[in-house]
């Protein structure tokens, strides 16, 4: 770091620039003002909307029950009161760390004292060798969710590629709208990266009971425009490695997230599965911070580095990073938490779900009310709660307190947990 930048890092900032306009960026600007930052605040965001929350996109927004008004992080007048120069829609195209200048696609430039990168990520795309049809869509933004919802409402059959969280929520919403849904997943089970076998099986049964045609171990070879006798017939045709085919009005692919790290990488910041930050959100440059889906942080609970893609992380890591920008060093040390809503099931995951640890089960998966406690050396490492939010809340308290647990008491449904 140059001598000028080194001394800048120790002075109170006069100009803070935030790249990104999602949930994490929204919480950064809110927190900066709440903490008393009165300087210039510039937010560069490539979506036209003010910051909003994405969880409802695959649920209420897709179902047509919510729109921009219900998902905003701050109402327009509240946002206006934050006195943020929102450069949007515009896209930050380069960061000159030596000069501390960000340049945008529209040709604007801004010099920062501190920079926060909250660029999230984009829906990962299927390779062009597979996706040859125009009827292949993705879901990451509000505009995509609105368009997808409209399309679902005028369709009869949707093909969902990917049996992860977003794919399963899309399938559940499609069924709610009366649309036939097929989910194709290459792995032998659903949500295999985050769930143990029992819960994957539970989700499989849940979707099949709701009329979804779920195909596991499905090796998708191509998605092409459907044609009959060489003439376009509308819709998409999926072909699998075993030669079988499947037709649908259109396909939605939910195959993961590609974090927006290119800008940071080009600026020479440390990047390894996300922008590398410490527990305060500080990157390898002490004038530059990162948070949310794009940041890879050392997680105290998991005892390893991780890039989380969750609502709670986007909010709370952003709050910690914004405070650190102002020199208030509060480590981000929360227990990872994620939830999903599908049909009549609310599923929440807290902490670490260690492979090879058989969970203690409270309740019953068949009855769709169960809590799986993952216990190691007498202490909770993680919890999966299915329609049992209260259990999860208690578990969070015990985990935060480091309290020892008794498996017999955890699994005894004749007595309330306390
Ligand atoms: C459909 C869906 C459903 C979800 N459901 C749940 C759920 O049920 N529970 C849960 O815990 N989590 C859920 N999540 C995850 C959660 O919403 C994300 O973790 C969160 O939105 C991450 O926020 P972020 O601000 O880090 O990134 P993002 O929300 O991706 O925001 C980043 C913004 O920065 C913009 N940007 C990127 N690069 C630039 C640039 N160079 N210049 C300007 N702007 C740029 C992007 O376009 C984007 O608008 C869901 C996500 C999706 C997509």
Q: What residues does each domain of the chain span?
A: 3-122+257-325, 136-253, 344-411
| pLDDT at 7 > cutoff 60 | no
Q: Is 120 in the pocket of ligand 1 (CB under 6 A)?
A: yes
Ligand 1 pocket test target in 28, 55, 117 with most atoms within 8 Å of CB: 55
Q: How far apart are CA 145 and CA 175, in angstroms?
A: 16
Burial readout 81-95 (b: 16 or more C-beta within 10 A, e: otherwise): ebebebbbebbbeeb
Q: Is 118 in the pocket of ligand 1 (CB under 6 A)?
A: yes
| pLDDT at 4 > cutoff 80 | no
Would you state the structure tokens that stand for residue 89, as one six-digit string? Answer: 């829609």
Burial classification of residue 346, based on how many CB atoms lie within 10 Å of its CB (0-12 exposed, 13-18 middle, 19 or more buried):
middle
Average pLDDT score over residue span 172-181: 98
Per residue in 267-294, pLDDT (tens digit) is: 999 999 999 999 999 999 999 999 999 9
Per residue in 87-122, pLDDT (tens digit) is: 999 999 999 999 999 999 999 999 999 999 999 999
Residues in the chain, total = 418
Distance in Å, CA 108 to ligand 1 centroid: 24
| pLDDT at 244 > cutoff 60 | yes
The pLDDT-based confidence of 2 (bands split at 50, 70, 90) is low
The pLDDT-based confidence of 3 (bands split at 50, 70, 90) is low
Q: How far is CA 275 from CA 104, 167, 235, 380, in A?
A: 20, 26, 39, 30
Q: What is the pLDDT of residue 356?
A: 86
The mean of the pLDDT values for the chain is: 96
The CATH homologous superfamily of the domain defined by 136-253: FAD/NAD(P)-binding domain (3.50.50.60)
| pLDDT at 254 > cutoff 60 | yes
Ligand 1 pocket test target in 314, 346, 347 with most atoms within 8 Å of CB: 314
Q: Do 3-122+257-325 and 136-253 come out as alike in CATH topology?
A: yes
| pLDDT at 325 > cutoff 90 | yes
Of 233-242, 284-293, 303-312, the range with the lowest mean pLDDT is 233-242
Q: Which of 327, 332, 298 is nearest to 313 (CA)?
A: 332
Q: Is 149 in the pocket of ligand 1 (CB under 6 A)?
A: no
| pLDDT at 169 > cutoff 70 | yes
Cis, bond preceding 89 (omega within 30 deg of 0): yes
Burial classification of residue 152, based on how many CB atoms lie within 10 Å of its CB (0-12 exposed, 13-18 middle, 19 or more buried):
buried
- Of the candidate CATH numbers 1.20.58.110, 3.40.449.10, 3.50.50.60, 3.40.50.150, the domain formed by 3-122+257-325 belongs to 3.50.50.60
Q: Is 124 in the pocket of ligand 1 (CB under 6 A)?
A: no
Distance in Å, CA 67 to ligand 1 centroid: 16
Average pLDDT score over residue span 298-320: 97
Ligand 1 pocket test target in 19, 165, 311, 340 with most atoms within 8 Å of CB: 311
Fold assignment, 344-411 = Enolase-like; domain 1 (3.30.390)
| pLDDT at 307 > cutoff 80 | yes
Q: Is 340 in the pocket of ligand 1 (CB under 6 A)?
A: yes
Q: Which of 157, 162, 185, 181 is nearest to 171 (CA)?
A: 181
Q: What is the pLDDT of residue 10?
A: 65
Average pLDDT score over residue span 319-339: 97
Burial classification of residue 54, based on how many CB atoms lie within 10 Å of its CB (0-12 exposed, 13-18 middle, 19 or more buried):
buried
Angle, nearest 10°, between helix axes 23-34 and 311-325?
40
- Residues 359/365/367/371 CA torsion (nearest 10 deg): 30
Q: What is the pLDDT of residue 1?
A: 56
Please state the φ and ψ torsions of residue 353, each to the nearest 5 degrees.
Answer: -110, 85
Q: How far apart are CA 216 and CA 189, in angstroms?
A: 6
Q: What is the pLDDT of residue 8?
A: 58
Q: What is the pLDDT of residue 11?
A: 78
């Amino acid at each position: 770091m140059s001598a000028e930048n080194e001394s800048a890092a120790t002075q109170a900032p006069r100009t803070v620039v935030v790249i990104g306009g999602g949930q994490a960026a929204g919480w950064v600007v809110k927190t900066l003002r709440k903490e008393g930052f009165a300087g210039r605040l510039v937010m560069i965001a490539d979506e036209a909307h003010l910051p909003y929350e994405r969880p409802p996109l695959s649920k209420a927004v897709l179902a047509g029950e919510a729109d921009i008004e219900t998902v905003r992080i701050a109402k327009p007048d509240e946002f206006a009161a934050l006195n943020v120069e929102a450069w949007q829609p515009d896209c930050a195209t380069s960061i000159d760390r030596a000069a501390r200048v960000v340049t945008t696609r529209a040709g604007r430039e801004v010099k920062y004292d501190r920079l926060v990168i909250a660029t999230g990520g984009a829906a990962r795309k299927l390779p062009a060798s597979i996706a040859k049809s125009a009827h292949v869509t993705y879901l990451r933004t509000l505009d995509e969710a609105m368009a997808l919802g409209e399309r679902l409402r005028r369709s009869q059959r949707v093909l969902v590629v990917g049996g992860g969280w977003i794919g399963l929520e899309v399938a559940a919403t499609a069924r709610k709208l009366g649309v036939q849904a097929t989910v194709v997943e290459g792995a032998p089970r659903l949500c295999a990266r985050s769930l143990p076998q029992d819960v994957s099986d539970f989700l499989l049964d849940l979707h099949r009971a709701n009329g979804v045609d779920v195909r596991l171990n499905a090796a998708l070879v191509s998605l092409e425009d459907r044609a009959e006798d060489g003439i376009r017939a509308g819709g998409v045709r999926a072909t699998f490695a075993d030669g079988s085919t499947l037709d649908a009005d259109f396909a939605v692919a939910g195959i993961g997230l590609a974090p927006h790290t290119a800008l940071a990488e080009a600026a020479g910041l440390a990047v390894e599965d996300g922008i590398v930050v410490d527990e305060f959100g500080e990157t390898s440059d002490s004038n530059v911070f990162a948070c949310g889906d794009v940041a890879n942080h050392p997680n105290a609970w998991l005892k390893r580095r991780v890039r989380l893609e969750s609502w709670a992380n986007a909010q709370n890591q952003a709050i910690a990073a914004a405070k650190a920008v102002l020199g208030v060093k509060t480590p981000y040390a929360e227990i990872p938490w994620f939830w999903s809503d599908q049909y009549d099931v609310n599923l929440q995951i807290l902490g670490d779900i260690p492979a090879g640890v058989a969970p203690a089960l409270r309740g019953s998966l068949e009855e769709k009310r169960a809590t799986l406690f993952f216990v190691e050396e007498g202490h909770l490492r993680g919890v999966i709660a299915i329609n049992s939010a209260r259990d999860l809340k208690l578990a969070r308290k015990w985990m935060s307190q480091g309290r020892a647990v008794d498996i017999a008491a955890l699994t005894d449904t004749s007595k309330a947990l306390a």
